[in-house]
Amino acid sequence: MSALPTIKDEEWRYADFDVVGQFAPETIDNWQEIAVPAGETMRECMVIDGSDPFMRRIRISVGAGGRAELFAVNACADYARLEVQVTLAEGAHFEFGGVTIGGGDAVREFVTRTCHGAPDATSNQVVRAVHWGQATGNFLGRIDVGRDGQRTDAAQDFKGLLLEKGASANAKPELEIYADDVKCAHGAAIGQMDEMARFYMASRGLAPDVARRLLIRAFIADAFAALEDEGEAERMFAAALDVLEDAER
């Protein structure tokens, strides 16, 4: 068993250790291993919407020319962490779309580590965080480009929307690059609701809850833009937006 995490570990720095301390060591050490064979595509859409603390750790190894797609809504009522480590073979792709959404005082987080150790692999990660109350949304995305990771194209995009004072969002991109022909893009922005847009919508007769749902749907849409299965995309939108009903106007 590896050493238990502490708040001094970079990938745990925004975690809720009051809760992490209660996890059994074997829960923390439980990594699920997934191998995507060369040339194949794996897709998983997950909704985390329970009321108990949640942690899932996945290691994905994507074979040459393969593709791993992971989409997640993290709307857990308590601390919830989805941690993904991806190793990409030559020409492989990793797609991640995540939404953390919710109020209360819970910490909801996505932690990814993407290893571009082989040439021509690509990755694209889009995370949106929508929070109110005292809640926190985190995205920690580490990208390692090894010496052989030439022509890597890796992108990370994070946006946070805070509906109330007291809520927070943390974004921590981390890049380590040892190859010289590499594209790594990352962007992060945090803001609040556009009040003028809300008034404009109200002036056309949209009830405040309908207007807010439309605006937040538009805000999180980028996270599921790469999800081609429309039925699954709608399921993800519904899971994220239904949580809004708990939020104050």
Nearer to other proteins, 37 or 191 (CB): 191
Mask for 220-239, x = binds other proteins (CB under 8 A): -x------------------
In the list 33, 180, 195, 248, the residue contacting other proteins (rule: CB under 8 A) is 195
Interface residue with other proteins among 28, 46, 206, 226 (CB under 8 A) is 206
248 near other proteins, rule: CB under 8 A: no
User: Does residue number 199 form part of the binding site for other proteins (CB under 8 A)?
Assistant: yes
HSE-up (13 A, CA, CB side) for residue 110:
32
Q: Which residue has the tokens 């980028």?
A: 222
Pairing of strands 41-48, 152-162: unpaired
203 belongs to the binding site for other proteins (CB under 8 A): yes
Looking at residue 136, the DSSP 8-state letter turns out to be: E
Neighbours of 248 (CB within 10 A): 8
Q: Work out whether 214 is an interface residue with other proteins (CB under 8 A).
A: yes
* Three-state secondary-structure class, residue 91: coil
How many alpha carbons lie under 13 Å from residue 81 in its C-beta half-sphere?
A: 23
Please, what is the minimum distance in Å from the beta carbon of residue 124 to other proteins? 19
Q: How far is the CB of 198 from other proteins (least distance, A)?
A: 9
Q: Which of 39, 218, 228, 238 binds other proteins (CB under 8 A)?
A: 218
The residues pairing with 132 across neighbouring beta strands, listed in sequence order, are none
Contact 23, 55 (CB under 8 A): yes
* Shortest distance in whole angstroms from residue 171 CB to other proteins: 20
Q: Is residue 2 a contact partner of residue 10, using CB atoms and an 8 Å limit?
A: no
Which residues contact other proteins (rule: CB under 8 A)?
A: 194-197, 199-208, 210-211, 214-215, 217-219, 221
